[in-house]
C-alpha cells in the first residue's frame, strides 16, 4: 500500500531519527553495563579475552553475541544449529511451564519459539496484563534458567489458531474500525502503544544483554495476506527503536516465491525464514530463501516445521505419522539446516480464545477445538511416552551438539469418579427483563462488541405479533450460532419454548410455530461467539447479529441486547448475577418463575447452569484429569472458577476436556456447566484419565489449511 500523505512520510522519518537516537543512547549504556559486568565477574589476574577474531572460539559471559554470517547462525563465535520448537506460554498453566520446557529439552530442543497474543495482554483498551497466564517475562526467564534460547513472535498479528490472530476484540468497538495488518494510521497508533508496553520488557532479556532472546519476528506470514511494504517497514522501525540494532529481526513466509515477495524485506535488515509442508523437499525451498536474504545472510531455517495439524469441530482428529515426521526433519538437519517444530507442545485453548478458519467463503466457518494437542510430540497433558516423541528425539540426538537429557515421566493422571450435578438455574431466569441496568436498546440488532461483550454470548430480544400459520425467521448475517426461543407473556408461568438453532455455516431459515397468544410473542435469540477467524481473507470477524432480522421478509425492530458476563482465561471471577445463579439454590433465584417445576427438567432444550462437586482427600492425590462429556450436548465448563473451555461431543471429535492439576485442590472442587442444548438425562459427568477424540459422526472429513 502506498503512503498517501507527506504526514505519513514525516512520521516515518521521525521514527527513523528516534531509532537512531535511541540506538545511540542504548549503545553507550550497554558499553557501560558491559564494563561493570566485566569487572564484576572477571577473576583476578585472568587473561583478557581476544576481541580480534570475528568468530571467537569460546563463550564469554560479558561479550555474548548471536549473529548470522557465512549462511550460518553463530553463537558466541561458534556455529549454531537451531533445533527449536513452538511452545505457547498462554496455552499451558504457568505451574506447568517448567514441566513442559524440561520435556522440550529432553526432546533435544535448544530453542523455544512462542507467539505473544495481544488480546490476552490488553483485554481492554490501555488495560495491560502481564500476570498469571500472561506473565511472559517469567516464562522467558524460566527458559533462560533452563538453558533454552528463545525466538519470540510479538506479531502484532500471530495467527496461531488463536481468536482473531491475537488482535483484541475491542478493535470492533472503535468507529471506524482500525484495519489490522495495514498502514492504517489508527491501527498503527494502537500497535505503537502495544509494542511500547511490550518490547521494552524484552530488552534485558535479549541474548546480547545476557538473556535468552536470539530473534524477534516481524508480523507473521504476511505474504499470505497482503502486500503493504510500508506497514512492514514501519514495524521494523518500531522494533529497532525499542530493541536496538543488534538483535536479529526475522519474517516467516510460506516457501513459494509469491509469498516471499510480499512478506519479506530484502537486504540484511531483516532475516527471511520460510515454512512449508512436512514432507516437501526442503532444499529447493532453502535455495529460494537465499534470494530474499543478503549474500551470506541466509542460513536455511524452517521456522514452522509441522509435527501435526489443527482440528476443527466436526472433523476427524488430525494426525501425522511419527516416522514420516522424523524422516522429514532429518532431511533438514543432516545438511546443517535449522528447524523449529510447530508444535513441540500444543497445549489447550482455555476459555473462549480458540480461533477459527474459513473455507470457500465467509460463511464456510470452521471453529477450532478446545484442545490444541496438534498431534505434537509433547501431548496436550504433557505426555511424552509416545512414538512421535521417541522418533523425533532419535533424529535430534544424531545432530545435537550436546548429549540429550533423560526423558521425564508422564504426569500422573487420576479418576475422581462420577460427578453428579444439579440444575441450579435456567439461563433466561437469571435476567431481570423489566429493571435491568445492563441492557442495550436499538431499532436494529447490535454486534456483540458494541455492547461490550467480546467473548461468549449475547441475548437478543424483541417481540412480534402472532400470525396464523406461524412465521419464518431469517438472519442473513449471523456470527456464529444462535438458539431461538419464543414465549407468550400473557400465558402466566409458561416457560420459553425452544424453536431451533441457526448456524452461520448453514445460513438456515427457521419456522416459528403458530402460537395462540393474547399479547405479542417474545422472541429470544441467544448468540454464541465461537471464535474469531484467525487466518485468511475473512479475518474481519465481528460477532453477534450483524444484519437486520427478518420475519416473513419484514425487518424486526425494537431490540434489547443483554451481555452475558462469563469470565475468560486469565480473568478473576467476580460477582455477577449470571455466574452467581449457578451456585445458588433454585429457590434463591429472583425470578417471576422461580418456583416453577418443569416435568422434563433433565432433558430440557433450554440453556441452564448445572453444578456439582467432587472431593480430593490428600494433596498427593491432586493430579491431572479429564472430564468426559459423553451424552451431553454443547456448552462451557468451569472448574473452581477456571474456564476450562467448550465441549461439543455431538459434533466431535473431542469428547473430553483436559483439567490440569494446578486448577484442582485438596478438599472440595466445584464444577459449573452452562449446558446450551441437552444435558445428560442422568445429570452426571465422569472424570477419566485419558483424552478421547472419537466423538461425533463417522462422516467427518479432515480439513487442512
Residues 192 and 300 in one domain: yes
Residues 183 and 241 in one domain: yes
For residue range 271-305, list pLDDT tens digits in order. 999 999 999 999 999 999 999 999 999 999 999 99
Q: Is 515 exposed, middle or buried (0-12, 13-18, 19+ CB in 10 A)?
A: middle
Predicted pLDDT at 24? 41
The Cα 307–Cα 381 span in angstroms is 17
Residue 147 falls inside a structural domain: yes
The Cα 110–Cα 121 span in angstroms is 27
Q: How far apart are the first and last CA of the chain?
A: 26
Q: Which helix (H) or strand (E) holds 8?
A: helix 6-41
Residue 705 falls inside a structural domain: no
List C-alpha distances in Å: 585 to 266, 435, 637.
Answer: 65, 22, 19
Instruction: Give the contacts of 4 (CB within 8 A, at least 6 positions apart).
Output: none
Our measurement of the distance from residue 352's CA atom to the centroid of its chain's CA atoms, rounded to an integer in Å, reads 9
Q: Which three cell numbers stand for residue 310?
A: 489443527
- Any idea which residues carry the catalytic annotation? 221, 304
Residue 46 falls inside a structural domain: no
Predicted pLDDT at 620? 97
DSSP 112-152: EEEE--HHHH-SBTTB---SGGG-HHHHHHHHHHTT-EEEE
Report the CATH number that the domain containing residue 626 is assigned in CATH. 2.60.120.260
Report the CATH number that the domain containing residue 237 is assigned in CATH. 3.20.20.80
Residues 254 and 153 in one domain: yes
Residue 19 falls inside a structural domain: no
pLDDT < 70 positions in the chain:
1-62, 572-604, 698-705
Parent domain of 515: 443-556
Predicted pLDDT at 438? 87
What's the predicted TM-score (pTM) here? 0.88
Predicted pLDDT at 9? 35
The Cα 297–Cα 248 span in angstroms is 11
Predicted pLDDT at 89? 98
Residues 119 and 258 in one domain: yes
Residues 181 and 295 in one domain: yes
Residue 699 falls inside a structural domain: no
The counts of H helices and E strands in the chain are: 11, 34
Coil vs helix vs strand at 457: strand
Residues 90 and 197 in one domain: yes
The Cα 685–Cα 629 span in angstroms is 6
Residues 549 and 583 in one domain: no
Residues 517 and 583 in one domain: no
Predicted pLDDT at 37? 37
Pairing outcome for strands 608-616 and 471-474: unpaired
Residue 49 falls inside a structural domain: no
Residues 259 and 341 in one domain: yes
Our measurement of the distance from residue 443's CA atom to the centroid of its chain's CA atoms, rounded to an integer in Å, reads 35
Residues 548 and 604 in one domain: no
For the chain, how many structural domains are there in total? 3
Residue 592 falls inside a structural domain: no
Residues 382 and 530 in one domain: no
Q: Which of 439, 436, 304, 470 is nearest to 374 (CA)?
A: 304
Residue 657 falls inside a structural domain: yes
The Cα 564–Cα 460 span in angstroms is 11
Residues 183 and 327 in one domain: yes
Amino acid at each position: 500500500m502506498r503512503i498517501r500523505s507527506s504526514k505519513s512520510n514525516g512520521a516515518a522519518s521521525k521514527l527513523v531519527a528516534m531509532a537512531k537516537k535511541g540506538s545511540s543512547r542504548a549503545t553507550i549504556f550497554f558499553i557501560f553495563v558491559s564494563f561493570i559486568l566485566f569487572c564484576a565477574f572477571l577473576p583476578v589476574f585472568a587473561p583478557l579475552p581476544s576481541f580480534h577474531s570475528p568468530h571467537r572460539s569460546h563463550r564469554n559471559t560479558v561479550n555474548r553475541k548471536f549473529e548470522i554470517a557465512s549462511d550460518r547462525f553463530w553463537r558466541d563465535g561458534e556455529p549454531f544449529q537451531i533445533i527449536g520448537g513452538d511452545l505457547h506460554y498462554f496455552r499451558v498453566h504457568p505451574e506447568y511451564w517448567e514441566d513442559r520446557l524440561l520435556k522440550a529439552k529432553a526432546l533435544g530442543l535448544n530453542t523455544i519459539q512462542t507467539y505473544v497474543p495481544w488480546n490476552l495482554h490488553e483485554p481492554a483498551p490501555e488495560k495491560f496484563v502481564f500476570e498469571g497466564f500472561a506473565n511472559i517475562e517469567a516464562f522467558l526467564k524460566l527458559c533462560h534458567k533452563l538453558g533454552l534460547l528463545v525466538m519470540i513472535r510479538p506479531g502484532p498479528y500471530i495467527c496461531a489458531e488463536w481468536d482473531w490472530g491475537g488482535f483484541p476484540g475491542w478493535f470492533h468497538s472503535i468507529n471506524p474500525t482500525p484495519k489490522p495488518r495495514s498502514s492504517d494510521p489508527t491501527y498503527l497508533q494502537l500497535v505503537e502503544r502495544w509494542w511500547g508496553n511490550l518490547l521494552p520488557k524484552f530488552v534485558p532479556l535479549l541474548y546480547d544483554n545476557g538473556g535468552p532472546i536470539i530473534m524477534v519476528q516481524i508480523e507473521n506470514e504476511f505474504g499470505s495476506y497482503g502486500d503493504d511494504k510500508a506497514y512492514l517497514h514501519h514495524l521494523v522501525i518500531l522494533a529497532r527503536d525499542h530493541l536496538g540494532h543488534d538483535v536479529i529481526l526475522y519474517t516467516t513466509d510460506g516457501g513459494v516465491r509469491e509469498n516471499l515477495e510480499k512478506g519479506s524485506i530484502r537486504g540484511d535488515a531483516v532475516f527471511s525464514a520460510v515454512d512449508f509442508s512436512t514432507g516437501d523437499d526442503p532444499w529447493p525451498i532453502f535455495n529460494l530463501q537465499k534470494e530474499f536474504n543478503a549474500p551470506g545472510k541466509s542460513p536455511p531455517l524452517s521456522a514452522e516445521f509441522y509435527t501435526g495439524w489443527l482440528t476443527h469441530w466436526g472433523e476427524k482428529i488430525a494426525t501425522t505419522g511419527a516416522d514420516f515426521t522424523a524422516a522429514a526433519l532429518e532431511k533438514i538437519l543432516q545438511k546443517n539446516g535449522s528447524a523449529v517444530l510447530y508444535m513441540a507442545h500444543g497445549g489447550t485453548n482455555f476459555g473462549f480464545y480458540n480461533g477459527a478458519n474459513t473455507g470457500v467463503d465467509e460463511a464456510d466457518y470452521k471453529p477450532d477445538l478446545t484442545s490444541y494437542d496438534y498431534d505434537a510430540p509433547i501431548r496436550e497433558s504433557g505426555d511424552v511416552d509416545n512414538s512421535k516423541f521417541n522418533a523425533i528425539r532419535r533424529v535430534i540426538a544424531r545432530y545435537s551438539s550436546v548429549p540429550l537429557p533423560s526423558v521425564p515421566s508422564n504426569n500422573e493422571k487420576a479418576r475422581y469418579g462420577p460427578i453428579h450435578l444439579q440444575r441450579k438455574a435456567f439461563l433466561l431466569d437469571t435476567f431481570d427483563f423489566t429493571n435491568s441496568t445492563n441492557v442495550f436498546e436499538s431499532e436494529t440488532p447490535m454486534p456483540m462488541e458494541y455492547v461490550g461483550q467480546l467473548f461468549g454470548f449475547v441475548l437478543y430480544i424483541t417481540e412480534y405479533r402472532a400470525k396464523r400459520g406461524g412465521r419464518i425467521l431469517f438472519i442473513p448475517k449471523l456470527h456464529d450460532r444462535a438458539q431461538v426461543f419464543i414465549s407468550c407473556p400473557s400465558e402466566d408461568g409458561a416457560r420459553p419454548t425452544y424453536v431451533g438453532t441457526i448456524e452461520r455455516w448453514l445460513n438456515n431459515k427457521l419456522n416459528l410455530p403458530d402460537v395462540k397468544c393474547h399479547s405479542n410473542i417474545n422472541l429470544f435469540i441467544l448468540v454464541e461467539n465461537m471464535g474469531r477467524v484467525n487466518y485468511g481473507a475473512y479475518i474481519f470477524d465481528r460477532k453477534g447479529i450483524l444484519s437486520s432480522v427478518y420475519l416473513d421478509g419484514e425487518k424486526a425492530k425494537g431490540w434489547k441486547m443483554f451481555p452475558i458476563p462469563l469470565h475468560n482465561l486469565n480473568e478473576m471471577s467476580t460477582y455477577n448475577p449470571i455466574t452467581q445463579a449457578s451456585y445458588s439454590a433454585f429457590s434463591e433465584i429472583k425470578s417471576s418463575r422461580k418456583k416453577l417445576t418443569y416435568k422434563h427438567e433433565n432433558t430440557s432444550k433450554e440453556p441452564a447452569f448445572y453444578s456439582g462437586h467432587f472431593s480430593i482427600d490428600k494433596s498427593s492425590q491432586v493430579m491431572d484429569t479429564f472430564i468426559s462429556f459423553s451424552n451431553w450436548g454443547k456448552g462451557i465448563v468451569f472448574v473452581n472458577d477456571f474456564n476450562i473451555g467448550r465441549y461439543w461431543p455431538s459434533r466431535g471429535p473431542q469428547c473430553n476436556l483436559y483439567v490440569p492439576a494446578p486448577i484442582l485442590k485438596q478438599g472440595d472442587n466445584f464444577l459449573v456447566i452452562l449446558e446450551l442444548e441437552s444435558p445428560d438425562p442422568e445429570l452426571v459427568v465422569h472424570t477419566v484419565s485419558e483424552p478421547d477424540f472419537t466423538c461425533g459422526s463417522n462422516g467427518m472429513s479432515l480439513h487442512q489449511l
